[in-house]
A = this chain, B = another copy of it.
């Protein structure tokens, strides 16, 4: 595995790879890698000649009171994990190279960036779309791989790619879970032992909602109320949202029409966890 930190060197590598006709697969990450990321890497390896993984904790997608500074960073462990997966290139730029002084251009996606996490985290998806546009322009992949856990994120990116005619296929990969159902997330590292034992309640509440829908329930308010009630059985939860939305536009459904996305976000102490099920 080769590590490249200069965006210019990354693009010239990509340009020459594409001129050779090589298919480039790209997995953008913020590091603190776990099995969810590795699933993306493996999917990329299967369908690409060259796999590039980026690690970049993107400052512009964090709100001023969010966890940018304490977001977990394990560069050595991450590099070892990627090496083991035979990743070809680790792209590891600095914040100064990605957002030099005077940086002022942003991509605003509109549509699926409203609601859910977009409502609770103003500017978050603008930051995500902007950094992903930059990374796509630097890495020039044919395919890019995103986890279904961040479902709204991949919907925003798909919309950006479509609206701005970017030549990249967005591949969404199934959420990887712990044995007890908790979605793998870098933020799980924040949880205390007691919180960790409660965390799977979110996924169980989504499964409950999914079962209701599969059994024929079409009243979204009824389904989300049941899921909320289930989550609040966990002692320390503070719910941000439980919503049923169109999986492409992210628009709320009052009367459930499949395919539908059941999505939830909740705080356990200061840690914000998200999860979703497509039904």
Q: Give chain A's interface residues, CB within 8 Å of chain B.
A: 7, 11, 15, 18-19, 21, 102-111, 129-130, 133-134, 137-138, 140, 159-160, 163-167
Contacts and interface: CB of A to CB of B under 8 A. Distances in A.
A7 B102 contact: no
Given A19-B18, A21-B19, A167 B137 contact: yes
B159 A105 contact: yes
A111 B106 contact: no
8 contacts: A104-B110, A104-B111, A105-B164, A107-B108, A134-B164, A137-B167, A138-B165, A140-B167
A46 to B, nearest CB: 22
A176 to B, nearest CB: 29
Contact of A137 (B7, B11, B166): B166
A11 B163 CA distance: 14
B105 A107 contact: yes
A56 to B, nearest CB: 13
A164 B160 CA distance: 14
A18 B167 CA distance: 13
Q: Which of A18, A105, A107, A109 is most buried by chain B, counting CB atoms within 10 A of its CB?
A: A105
Contacts of A104: 109-111, 159, 163
